[in-house]
């Protein structure tokens, strides 16, 4: 399988890559040697940067994120900043042309806006790069859930011959030859870079990449207050809280169309059967009839070995979904209209189609409203584009 890609794909892809340079503000532009050694030394002496901290939780995510941070990989400023550099550093790929940010670019909703991703030597993979926003909430990683943690996930692309094409051991060796990295690994982990420590630092950084505060979050928070009358409230503190919640909803109000779309999402269209909770996913695997003529059609079954999992893929979160076209694990649906039409027609019939996928009988107007909700209601705050300085 892999051999076939290696032989067939590169030439056409290199041409395609040359035709579409990344946008100017792409964060896939971090440059080696832009963070001088003496500044790195001073940073590592900064008081507090080695103390554990919890990321601030945006509206809509669980307030206390401590349960999502594993005890053996606590977040510290120094560890997160090290992981951030590794995430953007192309030296983690064999030929120095690809970083995590190449395929999960902050300037493109932390994905690459391509149907499937292109790794070193212009080689194409089979699947569409998911966004890495809110991955700390994910119970499993990858479209088929084959990695249990972000630590386990992170080494996958480095070693994958068509993504970064290195081995994690070789990557560690390369980092240890760079003084600015050697100093940081020493200060953060008490020793040189190893595959395990690289994975821990990258995972720590990813756990700080959070998205929330969408119009839908403001609306949901305000729902219980809409019928409330401040005149009848005796507790002054509650009056203040209630008025603030209503005011913030007013400032972030969804259009009428988006509100109608929201009703459909949680009602007639039954999207919330699978898309619910803080990241709008049940973290389960379902067969919608997508990409079943492709070589990786087994999906979840490739991990569990169970025929009942054939063609199932992980329900993705839907925050900021307007930014991450094209859609589905194979990138086969170009727009959110196409996605909603796929559900509206009842998916693509096959021997294992989910029982929760059936014709929805949405009118043209309803399809439009649902798309408006996805675009407008679910977009919100996300971390700014970053271009870290590198040792």
CB nearer ligand HEC, residue 143 or residue 219: 143
| Residue 201 sits in the site that holds ligand HEC (CB under 6 A) | no
What is the rounded CA–CA span in Å between residue 243 and residue 234?
13
35 neighbors 180 (Cβ within 8 angstroms) = yes
> Dihedral angle at the C-alpha atoms of 164, 170, 172, 173, nearest 10 degrees?
-140
Q: Which residues within the stretch 145-164 sit at the binding site for ligand HEC (CB under 6 A)? A: 150, 153-154, 157-158, 163-164
Q: Hey, what are 37's tokens?
A: 């050694």
Q: How far is the CB of 138 from ligand HEC (least distance, A)?
A: 6
Question: Of 57, 116, 129, 69, which Cα lies nearest the Cα of 279?
Answer: 57
Q: How far is the CB of 176 from ligand HEC (least distance, A)?
A: 17
| 10-18, 61-69, 121-129, 216-224 -> range binding ligand HEC (CB under 6 A) | 121-129
- Quote the longest CA-to-CA distance of the chain: 74
What is the rounded CA–CA span in Å between residue 26 and residue 328?
23
CB nearer ligand HEC, residue 120 or residue 242: 120
Among 275, 300, 319, 382, which residue sits at the site for ligand HEC (rule: CB under 6 A)? 275
CB nearer ligand HEC, residue 125 or residue 388: 125
Q: Which residues within the stretch 157-196 sit at the binding site for ligand HEC (CB under 6 A)? A: 157-158, 163-164
193 neighbors 176 (Cβ within 8 angstroms) = yes
246 neighbors 222 (Cβ within 8 angstroms) = yes
Query: How far does Cα 146 stand from its chain's mean position?
Result: 16
| Residue 80 sits in the site that holds ligand HEC (CB under 6 A) | no
Q: How far is the CB of 180 from ligand HEC (least distance, A)?
A: 19
Give the end-to-end CA distance of the chain in Å, rounded to a whole number.
38
374 neighbors 321 (Cβ within 8 angstroms) = yes
Positions that interact with ligand HEC (CB under 6 A): 87, 98, 100, 102-104, 117, 119, 125, 127, 129-130, 132, 135, 138, 141-143, 150, 153-154, 157-158, 163-164, 202, 269-271, 273-275, 286, 288, 290, 313, 315-316, 318, 321, 324, 327-329, 336, 339-340, 343, 354, 356-357, 370, 374
């Amino acid at each position: 399988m892999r051999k076939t890609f290696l032989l067939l794909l590169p030439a056409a892809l290199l041409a395609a890559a040359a035709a579409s340079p990344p946008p100017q503000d792409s964060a896939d532009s971090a440059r080696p040697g832009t963070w001088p050694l003496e500044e790195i030394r001073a940073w590592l002496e900064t008081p507090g940067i080695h103390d554990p901290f919890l990321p601030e939780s945006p509206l809509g995510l669980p307030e206390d994120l401590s349960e999502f941070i594993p005890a053996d990989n606590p977040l510290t400023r120094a560890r997160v900043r090290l992981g951030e550099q590794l995430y953007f550093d192309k030296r983690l790929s064999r030929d120095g042309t690809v970083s995590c940010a190449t395929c999960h670019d902050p300037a493109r909703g932390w994905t690459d806006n391509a149907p499937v991703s292109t790794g070193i030597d212009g080689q194409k993979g089979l699947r569409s790069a998911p966004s890495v926003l809110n991955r700390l909430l994910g119970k499993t990683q990858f479209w088929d859930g084959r990695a249990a943690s972000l630590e386990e996930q992170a080494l996958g692309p480095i070693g994958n011959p068509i993504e970064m094409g290195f081995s994690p051991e070789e990557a560690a060796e390369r980092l240890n030859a760079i003084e600015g990295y050697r100093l940081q690994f020493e200060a953060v982990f008490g020793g040189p870079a190893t595959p395990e420590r690289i994975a821990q630092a990258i995972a720590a950084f990813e756990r700080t990449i959070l998205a929330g505060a969408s119009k839908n979050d403001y609306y949901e928070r305000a729902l219980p207050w809409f019928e409330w009358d401040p005149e009848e409230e005796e507790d002054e503190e509650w009056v203040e809280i209630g008025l603030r919640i209503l005011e913030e909803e007013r400032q972030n109000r969804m259009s009428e169309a988006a509100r109608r779309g929201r009703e459909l999402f949680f009602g007639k269209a039954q999207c919330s059967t699978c898309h619910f909770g803080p990241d709008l996913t049940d973290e389960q695997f379902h067969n919608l009839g997508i990409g079943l003529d492709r070589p990786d059609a087994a999906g979840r079954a490739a991990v569990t070995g169970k025929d009942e999992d054939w063609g199932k893929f992980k329900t993705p979160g839907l925050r900021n979904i307007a930014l991450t076209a094209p859609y589905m694990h194979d990138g086969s649906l170009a727009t959110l209209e196409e996605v909603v039409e796929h559900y509206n027609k009842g998916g693509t019939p096959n021997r294992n189609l989910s029982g929760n996928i059936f014709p929805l009988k949405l009118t043209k107007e309803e399809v439009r409203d649902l798309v408006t909700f996805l675009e407008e209601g679910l977009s919100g705050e996300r971390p700014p584009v970053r271009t870290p300085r590198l040792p």
